[in-house]
Structure 1
Amino acid sequence: MTDNKGIFTLSLDTELAWGMFDKDNVGDYENAYRNTPDVVDHLCNMFDEYDISATWAIVSHLLMDCDKAHTDRTSPNFEWIDDWFAELPCVNGFDDVLWFAPWLIDRLQACETAQEIGLHGSTHMQLGADGCSRQHAEEEIDVAVKTLREHGLEPKSFVFPRNDVGHVDVLREHGIKVYRGRDAYWYERASVPNIIKPPCRFVDEAVRGTPPVTEPIEHNGILEIPGSQTFRPSHDGWQYTPGECSVERAKKGLERAARTGKTFHLWFHPFNLGHSPEKDCHRLERILMIVDELVREDLIKCVPMGEYSE
């Protein structure tokens, strides 16, 4: 990262039902989960067309057949769920499509443009929440890293479930070099009540606010790459903001990165595009077209998270 070009980084929280099972609302997203394989395929095709190397942060349990009761692990003491491992999607007999994706690694490695495969935990455990001890974090990260190694992968990057940062030292001890930090907005990084954050996010989206651009932050041997913008889906209330908001905001963020030589870090969950796949993939493609134009003008470059450590 020694030249003065701006940087575009794209990270994808790849989780299927693992992202919602502890909130007891998997059914609200079932159609989107079922559409996710097609969404992933479409994303891979777009990334090949526009030469985008993204970071796919995956919940490693997507690669594991749930044939045991996780008796070797201890459940965190979260206030919103009685027994973490007793409530896992696979334990409760959910449809395989919602929690098992053995095809995922092969599809990502088949992309013509190299894709980075990082981690989003083993079971999407919220590492920064009260009730997640260091032991819980060590078990979660140890299993996740070992699972990827069994597939011939050495993960460098990590995305914290729900962006709840905690036990960063455990990541470093397991060979992780880079993690995505909270988005670089005052209300995301300051100690403000969670109830304030959703309306602030909605206002930023509705008024087409320019996203922040950032630089890596070093923390005792591990790098934090803060987020800049979430690509909002046409669901969960975001359909009430104009559809052009995310595209216009990304354009502003990319142009700011080009001017300053800093990083514009876009991120989203692939399953969220499964509610309105054609509409949302088209909106995302418009952003990738802007990236492509700036790359051709030699103003920015596309860098996956793991490359920051190099």
Structure 2
Amino acid sequence: MNDKAGVFTISLDTELAWGMFDKSNIDKYEHAYRNTPEVINRLCELFDEYEIPATWAVVSHLLEDCDGDHSDRMSPDLKWVDDWFGKLPCASGMDEDLWYAPWLIDRIQDCETEQEIGLHGSTHMQLGASSCSRQHAEEEIRIGVETLRAHGVEAKTFVFPRNDIGHVDVLREHKIKTFRGSDDRWYEQAPVPSTVKAPLRFADEATRRAPPVVEPIERNGVIEIPGSQVFRPSYGGWQYTPGESSVLRAIKGLQCVAQTGGIFHLWFHPFNLGHNPDQELGKLERVLKVASKLVKEDKIVSLNNNMIREKCGSI
């Protein structure tokens, strides 16, 4: 292996419908959620075919079927939802196809290519929100870590729900070593209103702008790996960008990291590929083919987030 080679890494926000329960728009994505188990299975097959180790950040509540009693936890006072734990799907009965995936850990671990299972919170709580206290964060992270541990997984990587970063020191206390940072664009890392971010994101896609190459950063004893590019789906307005811009941007990212070193960090939600699995997985496969070719040419290496940390040196 070329020690100076650039690094390609993928992280996946693995949540099914948990990512939207507090936004009351589950129906909008229900078709994609129901296709997500198929997408996850096919992603595992692709990662094995092209020898891609990825990081799967899992909402741990997917793994447990509770009775809805969260009386031991304190709800954050969030502006967009009255009672966080009262709103949870398990508090009112749940459609298991949307909220419950006990098979998930076994399927990821069955991959021939080493995959990392990380944490995306226990209930997808937005830890960087102003009303999310340290106590909220501690409970959310602790319970998630304990749930994964009960399934034989020690979480080393965390992905903050909605990339809203907060209470990084709590990660360290629970022996989490790595987290995905915001994408390395000024408007993603600054306190910019969403009404401003949306057109800037669209402009990046529309102009097929090369995503940034990033470097790991130490934050409070934890390694941050900033994002480079969201792999956008062909719906939700993104279909109006020039054809397959997400593919072409990702290939540019791979070519850049092969030339300059550093890290190209691609990320997405598996359900993003669920609206049209054949089309979206076909687009991703084009990217993986290029990555595999560059690996074979010894121009890049493909690592999951924890492998990057180990390469950087343990904390």
So what's the TM-score if we normalise by structure 2? 0.97
The match for 2:261 is 261
Residue 145 in 1 paired to residue 139 in 2?
no
Residue 183 in 1 paired to residue 144 in 2?
no
Q: Check 1:155–1:138 CA distance in 2 against 1; reply closer, same or farther (3 A cut).
A: same
The match for 2:250 is 250
Residue 48 in 1 paired to residue 48 in 2?
yes
Structure 1, residues 135-188: CA drift from partner, whole Å, max 9, x if none?
A: 000000000000011011111000000000000000110010000000000111
The match for 1:84 is 84
Q: How does 1:6-155 map to 2 (within 5 A)?
A: 6-155=6-155
Find the aligned partners of 1:18 and 1:198 in 2 and give their Cα distance. 22
Deviation at 1:2, TM superposition (A): 8.9
Find the aligned partners of 1:255 and 1:109 in 2 and give their Cα distance. 30
Find the aligned partners of 1:19 and 1:243 in 2 and give their Cα distance. 27
Structure 1, residues 171-224: CA drift from partner, whole Å, max 9, x if none?
A: 110010000000000111122222100100001001100100010001131100
* Aligned residue identity for 2:166: G
Q: How does 1:231-246 map to 2 (within 5 A)?
A: 231-246=231-246
The match for 2:313 is none
Deviation at 1:92, TM superposition (A): 2.5
Q: Check 1:94–1:242 CA distance in 2 against 1; reply closer, same or farther (3 A cut).
A: farther
Residue 299 in 1 paired to residue 299 in 2?
yes
- Name which of structure 1's ranges 127-136 and 236-245 shifts more when overlaid on structure 2: 236-245
Q: How does 1:269-308 map to 2 (within 5 A)?
A: 269-308=269-308
Deviation at 1:91, TM superposition (A): 1.6
Find the aligned partners of 2:276 and 2:294 in 1 and give their Cα distance. 28
Structure 2 spans left out of the alignment, 5+ residues:
311-315
Find the aligned partners of 1:232 and 1:291 in 2 and give their Cα distance. 18
Contact 1:247/1:284 (<8 A) preserved: yes
Q: How does 1:210-249 map to 2 (within 5 A)?
A: 210-249=210-249
Structure 1, residues 219-266: CA drift from partner, whole Å, max 9, x if none?
A: 131100000000001111111113320111011111111111100000
Structure 1 spans left out of the alignment, 5+ residues:
none
> What is the DSSP-based 3-state SS (H/G/I as helix, E as strand, rest coil) of the residue aligned with 1:3?
coil
Contact 1:77/1:130 (<8 A) preserved: no
Identity %: 65
The match for 1:4 is 4
- Name which of structure 1's ranges 154-163 and 62-71 shifts more when overlaid on structure 2: 62-71
So what's the TM-score if we normalise by structure 1? 0.98
> What is the DSSP-based 3-state SS (H/G/I as helix, E as strand, rest coil) of the residue aligned with 2:86?
coil
Find the aligned partners of 2:26 and 2:191 in 1 and give their Cα distance. 29
Contact 2:68/2:90 (<8 A) preserved: no
* Aligned residue identity for 1:5: A
Contact 2:5/2:301 (<8 A) preserved: yes
Find the aligned partners of 1:156 and 1:268 in 2 and give their Cα distance. 19
* Aligned residue identity for 2:141: I
Structure 1, residues 116-153: CA drift from partner, whole Å, max 9, x if none?
A: 00000000000001110000000000000000110111
Structure 1, residues 26-52: CA drift from partner, whole Å, max 9, x if none?
A: 111111110000000110000000000
> What is the DSSP-based 3-state SS (H/G/I as helix, E as strand, rest coil) of the residue aligned with 1:232?
coil
Find the aligned partners of 1:146 and 1:243 in 2 and give their Cα distance. 43
Question: What RMSD over aligned residues (CA atoms) do the two structures have, in Å?
Answer: 1.1
Contact 2:208/2:245 (<8 A) preserved: yes
Find the aligned partners of 1:132 and 1:221 in 2 and give their Cα distance. 21
Q: What is the aligned residue count?
A: 310
Contact 2:68/2:92 (<8 A) preserved: no
Find the aligned partners of 2:268 and 2:110 in 1 and give their Cα distance. 21
Deviation at 1:94, TM superposition (A): 2.9
Contact 1:15/1:59 (<8 A) preserved: yes
The match for 1:169 is 169
Find the aligned partners of 2:12 and 2:118 in 1 and give their Cα distance. 9
Find the aligned partners of 1:254 and 1:15 in 2 and give their Cα distance. 27
Find the aligned partners of 2:66 and 2:257 in 1 and give their Cα distance. 43
Find the aligned partners of 1:191 and 1:137 in 2 and give their Cα distance. 21
